Amino acid sequence: MTPDIPIDSIEFHNAHAEARSDGSYQIARYPEAVRHQLNDRARMLGMDSCGAEIRFVSAAPSLRVTLSCENFGTEISIYRGSFEIGRHRLSVGIPTPLLLETPEAFSRSQADVLHSGGFSPDLWRIVFGRGNCSLHRIDSFGADIRVPTSEETPRIHWLAYGSSITHSSLEGYPFHAARLLHCNVYGKGLSGSCHADAAAANYLAEFAAEKKVDVITAELGVNMRGSFTNEVFSKRVRNLVARLREANPQTPIALITCFTNNQHYTNHPGNESAERQAAFDNTLRTLVADAKDPNLHLFEGTEVLNDYTLLSADLLHPTRSGQALMAHNLAQKLQPLLKS
């Protein structure tokens, strides 16, 4: 353990901090032992830090946090409680020091309003965008640092699994919806590699139980329509649901069919991708209908993203406006499950 990082005094949210030979800590969303059992692309993307956070509380008026990224310029967002202070872009391979200073305006606001988003205004949050990032140093200039208490973070916990649309970015629907719901989100999307692997199913089930999450969503199908049969898709999804339910007996689980995309409106009907997508969606509908499980739900992806024009030009990935719309629609669907 390096003295530059008070590892026992900070919380790694949605992250597994892995010690590196240079004294830094890799901020990975999936632990190494799990990553190495996933499909080839997911082995890399499980290292991605998107949606991971470093959280701590300190009375220090100023702190310096040094971070780096490995693969491309990662955008970092700095929050104090629920309030975004600013964003910074890291340069590849260069440890970058960021100065954190308590917002002066907080002293002119009522404390209960500052806390109304679920996060204490005393809590520092460093939120990572896409990229493989590491923590090198935290300097509080002699002031104490501590892990936040449960009263200083939202009481609601949501686990989100899915494709690149769930993996997304700081502008993605999981992060927008979490803000609307005032909840903690554990974003476990795997861009282009959401294959419902057995190792992923086991990890997600155990992780959800450990964190005592209040709801689980799984957006499934779009990453498998290119090369998987419906038989394989069905087998993997049923295993995923079985493992989630075994480890989380009463937790609401919502399966999400494919979000609106080009194959819903193709001018080449009957193409293999469109047929598989339709079959996969029907498999999810049948699974939920046959389960007789009051806590297993189905959300139609076309209702979550209900405006085709909010896709980007690839007609697959939503724009920022599309992600915001999805967040609003999904938050409305999740609210009844959270109340139950």
For residues 225 and 268, give the distance between their C-alpha atoms in angstroms, rounded to a whole number: 16
What pLDDT, on a 0 to 100 scale, did the predictor assign at position 340? 63
Burial pattern 2-18, b for ≥16 Cβ within 10 A else e, equals eeebbeeebbbbbbbbe
Return the bridge partners of 16, or none: 28
Which candidate, 129, 215, 186, 183, places its Cα nearest to that of 13?
Answer: 186
Which candidate, 327, 305, 318, 14, places its Cα nearest to that of 176?
Answer: 327
The amino acid at 241: V
Burial class of residue 61, CB neighbours in 10 A (0-12, 13-18, 19+):
exposed
The mean predicted confidence, pLDDT, of the chain is 96
Which residues have CB under 8 Å from 217's CB, separation 6+?
158, 159, 160, 161, 162, 253, 254, 255, 256, 299, 330, 334
Identify the residue whose tokens are 């679920």. Answer: 118
Confidence of residue 50 (pLDDT cuts 50, 70, 90): very high
**pLDDT tens profile 83-104:** 999 999 999 999 999 999 999 9
- The yes-or-no verdict on residue 2 having pLDDT over 50 is no
- The yes-or-no verdict on residue 1 having pLDDT over 60 is no
> Order of strands, edge to edge, in the sheet holding 296-299?
184-187, 157-161, 215-219, 253-256, 296-299
Q: What is the mean pLDDT of residues 214-242?
A: 98
Structure tokens that stand for 13 in this block: 């949210």
Which candidate, 169, 159, 79, 69, places its Cα nearest to that of 119?
Answer: 79
Q: Which fold has domain 154-339?
A: Rossmann fold (3.40.50)
What pLDDT, on a 0 to 100 scale, did the predictor assign at position 269? 82
C-alpha distances out from residue 14 to 50, 105, 218, Å: 9, 29, 16
Confidence of residue 181 (pLDDT cuts 50, 70, 90): very high
CB atoms within 10 A of CB 243: 19
Instruction: Report pTM.
Output: 0.96
Identify the residue whose tokens are 């693969």. Answer: 71
| Strand boundaries in 10-82, DSSP class E | 11-13, 16-19, 25-28, 53-57, 62-69, 75-80
Confidence of residue 139 (pLDDT cuts 50, 70, 90): very high
| φ/ψ bin of 221: left (φ > 0), alpha (ψ from -120 to 50), beta (otherwise) | left
Confidence of residue 144 (pLDDT cuts 50, 70, 90): very high
- The yes-or-no verdict on residue 179 having pLDDT over 80 is yes
The amino acid at 198: A
| φ/ψ bin of 212: left (φ > 0), alpha (ψ from -120 to 50), beta (otherwise) | left
Superfamily of domain 7-151: Galactose-binding domain-like (2.60.120.260)
Q: What is the mean pLDDT of residues 240-252?
A: 98
**pLDDT tens profile 145-178:** 999 999 999 999 999 999 999 999 899 999 999 9
- The yes-or-no verdict on residue 4 having pLDDT over 80 is no
For residues 34 and 199, give the distance between their C-alpha atoms in angstroms, rounded to a whole number: 6
Domain segments of the chain as ranges: 7-151, 154-339
Length of the chain: 340
